[in-house]
Structure 1
């Protein structure tokens, strides 16, 4: 199964790589330049059917953009998952948004919260990944000339059509490969993408969401782990 996930990720990257965006001066594709740790993640933890598939949106600057792993807070990836690997430099690279891979000293708050909760409940990462898998919907990072992050809704709709097509096809393949019982969005946006995918491929599963752990969310800053754990318990995931 991990082989199918790797093939799906490479196919998605091949479709996204040549795209250009009029409002984005810089575009990073971590599944390309951080392919080594990304595929280690898929190879090690994408084996077998999963009971729960969790989906995020797109890479954070100090998480997946550095490690190639969804919500890829470095200590969680390196120490809990046991994944490291060479990370290349994106071309072009924004001087204010350098990619230093596992040498990056900044923390990805969303990833620290997400993986921190899972590591607390499952001290051995293999126990978590025996039934769970975490994926991202879109692996692209868009930036302005200043290095400011650009969200997909700020890009021209016609430029996002091929992005959506590639990401939809990839998500369909991930669901078909892992055959999860639960489709859980990390936030409402991801939940919506999972709902669309399930309807598109005629897949029946329990659909739900947990609060997104972003520090931009006041609700997440008031005790994200407690809120997310309660949601997972209420849905019967845990």
Structure 2
């Protein structure tokens, strides 16, 4: 029996950076680092060692301080230790998105319960930077077009891990434009539900944090089969 974990580990172990990006846009591929190879193995073995389908939650592309370091979507080294129980020697990093996401994870009863039902990922699986800062695949048309085949392949391949295709949760309002475009082309999901991006919430709407947490919890609960 090939599990969700088996497929995910094999995918990330063989993930390579594209070579067609516009000048000035760089890629961070943490999956070539021995520490990250071990983390990916331990994380997916711990939380995804079954064949149960998950509801996919799709962000844009990883940040350089989250999955760009740990290889685990929306997860900093410190949250990997604190919430997932996976020790590591990686340097703690600031990442607003991870801080919010793990409040959501905690509200669902912890990582074991959350990951039993949801899979956090991104339309493009590797962190992008420009001039040393985080960069989104949609920040310029040339980058979007260069990565569109890889984005399509990323989502198609990850669906085979074990996706519950009745719904996808899109993280980010602008990201929704591209996920809907992809879904119109490929028919990956029956419907798409969109939530404000965690980084946006903490950066611009932190006063309403509790309301956003409640909205996330209600929306995700409604997405479960």
- The TM-score range, normalised by the shorter chain, is 0.7 to 0.9
The aligned counterpart of 2:159 is 175
- Whether the 8 Å contact between 1:50 and 1:133 is mirrored in structure 2 is no
- Whether the 8 Å contact between 2:123 and 2:155 is mirrored in structure 1 is yes
CA drift of 1:160 comes to 4.5
The aligned counterpart of 1:22 is 23
In structure 2, the CA distance between the partners of 1:142 and 1:42, relative to structure 1 (3 Å rule), is: same
The aligned counterpart of 1:224 is 209
- Whether the 8 Å contact between 2:104 and 2:217 is mirrored in structure 1 is no
In structure 2, the CA distance between the partners of 1:210 and 1:83, relative to structure 1 (3 Å rule), is: same
Root-mean-square deviation (CA, aligned residues, Å) is: 2.9
CA drift of 1:195 comes to 3.2
Paired residues, what number? 216
In structure 2, the CA distance between the partners of 1:165 and 1:32, relative to structure 1 (3 Å rule), is: farther
In structure 2, the CA distance between the partners of 1:78 and 1:218, relative to structure 1 (3 Å rule), is: closer
TM-score by length of 1: 0.74
- 1:41 has 2:43 as partner: yes
- Whether the 8 Å contact between 2:167 and 2:189 is mirrored in structure 1 is no
Q: Deviations over 1:93-131 (max 9, x none)?
A: xxxxxxxx6222x321110111122113313x2111111
Listed as ranges, the matches of 1:7-18 within 5 Å are 7-11=10-14, 13-14=15-16, 16-18=17-19
Q: What SS does the corresponding residue of 1:6 show, helix, strand or coil?
A: helix
For structure 2, list consecutive stretches of 5 or more residues without a partner in the other structure. Answer: none
In structure 2, the CA distance between the partners of 1:135 and 1:151, relative to structure 1 (3 Å rule), is: closer
- Whether the 8 Å contact between 1:62 and 1:107 is mirrored in structure 2 is yes
Q: Which of residues 121, 125, 139 is equivalent to 2:108? A: 121
The aligned counterpart of 1:111 is 98
The aligned counterpart of 2:129 is 143
Cα distance in structure 2, aligned partners of 1:199 and 1:43: 33
The aligned counterpart of 2:90 is 102
For structure 1, list consecutive stretches of 5 or more residues without a partner in the other structure. Answer: 86-100
CA drift of 1:44 comes to 3.1
The aligned counterpart of 1:79 is 82
